[in-house]
A and B are shown apart, each in its own frame.
Chain A
């Protein structure tokens, strides 16, 4: 019974709207029966579409990598170790979510100009860390809490190095946290418009920079095609990342 409820809700709120979007992208604006591929043709006719897509993927990739590195280490420290001022640090890590992102960006922009990061892709990666890192730290912290200290102590007792423990025990067991972080941070990075515009200064043109101004366009076919293209990216990235996760040790033995 429950499964029917789930599928009904899924069909109604997920499948139906998306299929409308697909339908609109293959018909002429304002009509759902008049078949035309003009929406897609116009989309790929945009000069900077593919370039911007590439830029978005590269930036998203580095944002995800930084998030994994910082999230794993900070999350572990917060979950497993006791140290002076832990609660303060914990609160500070969430601060970027509580302050208005634009205010942070304007402040950081000046600093970035001084150190030469403004108008560069590295600067954009950096600013995308602000709205993503707090989530990653939370997710990994919870991951490590449920993992517990004992698993690692066991490795230590058996004589494994810190690196070995991380690789063979922590990574495989934190897999679902890693998946969440990859997907979440990539989606957040992909959809940042204003902060990318300010720090990237227009020299770094991501997909959001091309896409957002078009949302008010009257050409609904083009907007539909654009939206689908936009939604396709995180999906492809996720599939790619999933492939990489298969390289972790002990993957086939982990029950999911």
Chain B
């Protein structure tokens, strides 16, 4: 019986063919050669799989086109990003050089993790012709304060935006000073979620960048308590000034974004917010938000984060991964991704770098009435802070705002 089992186990092991990894060094190859050597290969894309729009975009739109244009067989495997990194960490530990993943979808803390644990292939982004031609290199030097160093290529982005009810608010405040005036002039009409909430924290980080004397010192360097404390005085002052004029005199803050959204949908406050410039579209459609809801980004800056594609250290098909990522970054793939009927995700492309007809197509694309224009979003864009600011913000807010009478 046992022998028989062993035979089966051996058979099953045998069935799994370990495909030959191409060990070619890509740094000396030009991109045409890379694309040629990627022909007739399989590329494994591992990504979070909980959104039908995203999955359909990859399976039904991207995969067939990659097959047709580059002879690449793209396989998407649904897996949580945390699990993917765990798998890579273990493989790194066990010294497994021939992995099963060629492309992963990461940003922020996960990227930082992957980079620190040396789970990534290395710098590849500047090899990609589409990145060099159509993207703004300066825009993607940092990912939540971690230097990208070309180890990930931007795939798309979201931005922080506020929503207001146009029936009640005529001219939404464009800066934090105007917001201060507005809050004072409209007592009880505004509040924000506590910074222990993801959105509340982002709102305060955005405010920190807008009110600090030297915002670049904050975004371009890793977290430093002293620097954070020095630059945040103006923000804490404003927040304390708002307090008596907030919803319920600032004695209560919504503990989550859904609580704030509920207050907004019941008409108790006139504004809400969120880390996705297109979010009000479906909330209006579902009848949660009033039809008169508008979305805006502030002149003083809108926090944005990009999400990226990267290659694990033990990918066995780097040329295939590069060709695929280059295609995902192409204007036509980005345009399709942006359609509300597909995924609806904002493009990471610098639109003015595109050929004119392509620019037109991007400009004519209707993302939905409430979504701010691409130009507007780009003007207001501010990069994210180091992930360590999240925790600092939560703790300091308690001391500076809640405990201050």
List residues of chain A with CB under 8 Å of any chain B CB: 46-47, 62, 65-66, 69, 106, 109-110, 113-114, 116-122, 125-126, 194, 197-198, 201-203, 205, 209-210, 212-214, 216-219, 222
Contact = CB atoms under 8 A, between A and B. Distances in A.
A201 to B, nearest CB: 5
Contact of B48 (A126, A209, A210, A213): A213
A69 B93 CA distance: 34
Contacts of B52: 214, 217-219, 222
A210 B77 CA distance: 8
Contacts of B78: 209-210, 212-213
Contacts of B91: 113, 118
Given A116-B13, A213-B48, A219-B52, A202 B1 contact: no
Interface string B58-91: 0100000000000000000111100100110011
Interface stretch (B94-102, B165-173, B181-189, B263-271): B94-102
B166 to A, nearest CB: 27
Nearest to B51: A217
A198 B86 contact: yes
B266 to A, nearest CB: 23
Interface core residue of B49, B87, B93 (most chain A CB under 10 Å) = B87
A119 B83 contact: no
Contacts of A119: 16, 100
B8 interface: yes
Contacts of B83: 194, 197-198
Q: Which 4 A-B pairs have the closest CB atoms?
A: A213-B49, A122-B12, A202-B77, A113-B94
B100 A203 contact: yes
A122 B12 CA distance: 5
B16 A120 contact: yes
Nearest to A108: B90
Given A197-B80, A197-B87, A202-B46, 5 more contacts: A106-B90, A109-B87, A120-B16, A121-B16, A210-B78
B258 to A, nearest CB: 15
Contacts of A218: 52
B50 interface: yes
Interface residues of B, number: 32
Given A119-B16, A119-B100, A213 B90 contact: no
Contacts of B100: 119, 201-203
Nearest to A201: B100
B206 interface: no
Contacts of A47: 59
Contacts of A118: 91, 96
Interface string B171-199: 00000000000000000000000000000
Nearest to B15: A121
A252 B59 CA distance: 52
A121 B10 CA distance: 11
Interface of B: 1-2, 5, 8-9, 12-13, 15-16, 44, 46, 48-52, 59, 77-80, 83, 86-87, 90-91, 93-94, 96, 99-101
Nearest to B99: A201
Dominant secondary structure at the A interface = helix
B8 to A, nearest CB: 7
Contacts of A109: 87, 90, 94
23 contacts: A47-B59, A62-B12, A65-B5, A106-B90, A113-B91, A113-B96, A120-B15, A121-B12, A121-B16, A122-B9, A122-B12, A125-B12, A194-B83, A197-B80, A198-B87, A201-B99, A202-B46, A203-B16, A209-B77, A213-B50, A217-B51, A217-B52, A219-B52
Contacts of B90: 106, 109-110, 113, 198
B50 A120 contact: no
B13 A122 contact: yes
B49 A62 contact: no
A64 to B, nearest CB: 13
A90 B52 CA distance: 47
B42 to A, nearest CB: 11
Contacts of B86: 106, 198
Contacts of A120: 12-13, 15-16
B77 A114 contact: no
A217 B53 CA distance: 10
A216 B77 contact: no
A155 to B, nearest CB: 20
Contacts of A66: 5
A205 B94 contact: no
Nearest to A203: B100
Contacts of A121: 12, 15-16
Contacts of A65: 5
B12 A202 contact: no
B100 to A, nearest CB: 5
A218 B53 CA distance: 11
A76 to B, nearest CB: 13
Contacts of A46: 59
Contacts of B44: 202-203
Contacts of A214: 49-50, 52
Nearest to A66: B5
A117 B13 contact: yes
A110 B91 CA distance: 7
A111 B100 CA distance: 17
Contacts of A217: 50-52
A17 to B, nearest CB: 24
A214 B8 CA distance: 33
A218 B282 CA distance: 12
A116 B59 CA distance: 30
